[in-house]
A and B are shown apart, each in its own frame.
Chain A
Amino acid sequence: AQSVTQPDIHITVSEGASLELRCNYSYGATPYLFWYVQSPGQGLQLLLKYFSGDTLVQGIKGFEAEFKRSQSSFNLRKPSVHWSDAAEYFCAVGYSGAGSYQLTFGKGTKLSVIP
């Protein structure tokens, strides 16, 4: 069965510092990978997604993620964090087959930003 691990429950960074949020997945076939962000009291918003092709994916709000098959990872990065980036971030792996399509989410990483 597929699974997603986000090893960091909570990360605190200073505004302007770089950010990397880790995500590891377990899935037997080629995964579809997503990063979502959830602001307090809000639903989830898609930041970026990877299906195939270039392993470095650009998303909204200046985020990028790199798919590394050898490490089963899809880490999210941002070179300079803004205070408005404080939120919870979810990595997800999607799969389809036999008419089924599902997303499995990690437990999330809460990002705090120090002014």
Chain B
Amino acid sequence: DAGVIQSPRHEVTEMGQEVTLRCKPISGHDYLFWYRQTMMRGLELLIYFNNNVPIDDSGMPEDRFSAKMPNASFSTLKIQPSEPRDSAVYFCASSLEFVRDTTDTQYFGPGTRLTVL
């Protein structure tokens, strides 16, 4: 398996522009997670999906952020309009469905480094 795939790997944009980050989870994984990593705040969970349905988006910082998962093999994280403080590395991760009292490993993609000028 190719693992979790993210695109683009690097994105540079200007303030006010729309940015769309893409993720393809590992085939068969039921959970998909979006994280943001910054020096100041470390790794933060933004939102996660179970079977394409958003379960918890409490980590999404503002209404400018939105995420979708139209099918089991694709998810997007959109920022509109983007701001310089959105500059960070955004990771996507996926995992198998867990059974109560157990859990499973999250597998991370290589990340998208976003720079908003």
Q: Which residues of A contact B (CB under 8 A)?
A: 32, 34, 36, 42-46, 49, 51, 90, 94, 96, 99-108
Nearest-neighbor residue (CB-CB) of A106 within chain B: B42
- Flag if B56 contacts A102 (CB, 8 Å): yes
17 A-B contact pairs sorted by A residue (CB < 8 Å): A34-B105, A42-B111, A43-B4, A43-B108, A44-B93, A44-B108, A46-B107, A51-B103, A96-B98, A100-B56, A101-B31, A101-B98, A101-B103, A102-B45, A103-B45, A105-B42, A106-B42
Given known contacts A90-B43, A105-B42, A43 and B100 CB-to-CB distance under 8 angstroms:
no
| A-side contacts of B100, CB under 8 Å | 96
| B-side contacts of A43, CB under 8 Å | 4, 91, 108-111
B102 at the interface (CB under 8 A from A): yes
| A-side contacts of B4, CB under 8 Å | 43
Given known contacts A100-B56, A101-B103, A45 and B45 CB-to-CB distance under 8 angstroms:
no
- Flag if B98 contacts A105 (CB, 8 Å): no
Determine how close the nearest CB of chain B comes to the CB of A13; give it in whole angstroms.
22
| A-side contacts of B102, CB under 8 Å | 51
User: How many contacts A-B (CB < 8 Å)?
Assistant: 47
- Flag if B105 contacts A46 (CB, 8 Å): yes
Q: Which residues of B contact A (CB under 8 A)?
A: 4, 31, 33, 42-43, 45, 48, 50, 55-56, 91, 93, 98, 100, 102-103, 105-111
- Flag if B103 contacts A96 (CB, 8 Å): yes
How far is A108 from B39 in the complex, measured between Cα atoms in Å? 10
How far is A15 from B17 in the complex, measured between Cα atoms in Å? 46
Nearest-neighbor residue (CB-CB) of B99 within chain A: A96
- Flag if A107 contacts B42 (CB, 8 Å): yes
Given known contacts A32-B103, A51-B102, A105 and B111 CB-to-CB distance under 8 angstroms:
no
